[in-house]
Amino acid sequence: MSCGRQKSAAKPLGTGRIVFWRGGSVWVGRADGETGFHAHHAIQVTLVLSGGQVRFQSPGENWASYSAAIIAADRNHAFEAGGQCVAQIFTEPESRDGRVLRQRYGEGIAALACDDFAEESAALFAAYEAGATDEELVARARAVTARLTATQASPPKPLDKRIARAIEVVRERLGEAITMTEIADAVHLSPERFRHLFLEETGVRFRPYVLWLRLEVAVASYAAGNNLTEASYAGGFADSAHFSRTFKRMFGLPAVGIKPVPAGS
């Protein structure tokens, strides 16, 4: 699929590819319209692949234009792309790359110097335009992240091993009901100690984090071609309405506002 503008009587706000890997994802394609304010538990790197600019806004501030930007995890913001071809690379802040990005770029919205990763960005654009495999898109997106984290002077603080194990247990149980008490018990912590340690280590409370992981699974299912109901159940949501509300709160637009396309399209 080309990133050129497409005319349609009822076009989606975004059309392109969505590919996940452990700890991150890349959303690449043409984006139209403007989102509402939203926040999600991932560090977001936005690259304009078509040579123009996109705009971000924080609450109470004016819109600002960027050719490339990084948005901290859980940062409330609005986004407007104006038909540009963009790549959105999401990284979970608990991952190694996420801890480096969080340590280096802080808590706001920051401009990135496109020249620092021009080669990687061009390779990602070329792979997308050529209809490359999911694996190739992942490799190209992760090369951008690797460039952004390669110059980190000191290693990031490692995630507490008990919280790292808790996240593993949560991932294993996403298809079933999950309680904080059960996860705390699995890593030999009292619920109250677990609550505080999880927030301290991840920057987010336990329930919203589980919801974020469920959303990842549901979006991956939707991107694979399943309908909203099937995707909702895959992520452990009660129904498609719950999934849609969560998606809009975290991404600022309804799930039906994106149109994933398969590789090679």
Which residues, in sequence order, are bridge partners of residue 91?
24, 43
Domains of the chain as residue ranges with CATH: 14-156 (2.60.120.10), 161-251 (1.10.10.60)
Using DSSP, state whether 86 is helix, strand or coil.
Answer: strand
pLDDT at 177: 87
Tell me the C-alpha distance between 236 and 243, whole Å: 9
| Amino acid making up residue 90 | F
Q: Using DSSP bridges, classify how beta strands 258-260 and 14-21 pair: parallel, antiparallel or unpaired.
A: parallel
Alpha-carbon distance 1 to 249, whole Å?
Answer: 28
126 in Cβ contact with 87 (< 8 Å): no
The predicted model scores a pTM of 0.85
Query: Nearest 5°: CA angle at 155, between 142 and 19?
Result: 20
Rg (CA), the chain: 18
C-alpha to C-alpha distance for 15 and 182, rounded to whole angstroms: 40
Residue 56: per-residue pLDDT: 97
Percent helix, strand, coil in the chain, to 5, is: 45, 20, 40
171 vs 121: CA distance, rounded Å: 31
Closest among 122, 103, 123, 101 to 112, alpha carbons compared: 101
Question: Would you write out the chain's pLDDT as a tens digit for each of its 265 residues?
Answer: 345 434 443 455 678 899 999 889 999 998 888 899 999 999 999 999 988 999 999 999 999 999 999 999 999 999 999 889 999 999 999 888 998 998 888 889 999 998 888 999 999 999 999 999 999 999 999 999 999 998 655 666 788 999 999 999 999 988 788 999 999 999 999 999 999 999 998 888 999 899 999 999 999 998 888 899 999 999 989 888 999 999 999 988 888 767 776 665 5
Residue 9: per-residue pLDDT: 37
Give Cα separations from 101 to 37, 126, 146, 225 (angstroms): 23, 25, 10, 32
What whole-number distance in Å separates Cα of residue 99 and Cα of residue 118? 23
Q: Which two tokens stand for residue 119?
A: 């080669």
**Tokens describing residue 15:** 């059309």
* Helix segments in 71-117, DSSP class H: 96-105
Q: How far apart are CA 114 and CA 137, in angstroms?
A: 19
pLDDT score recorded for residue 154: 61
- Which pLDDT does position 37 carry in this prediction? 94
Alpha carbon 191 to its chain's center: 29
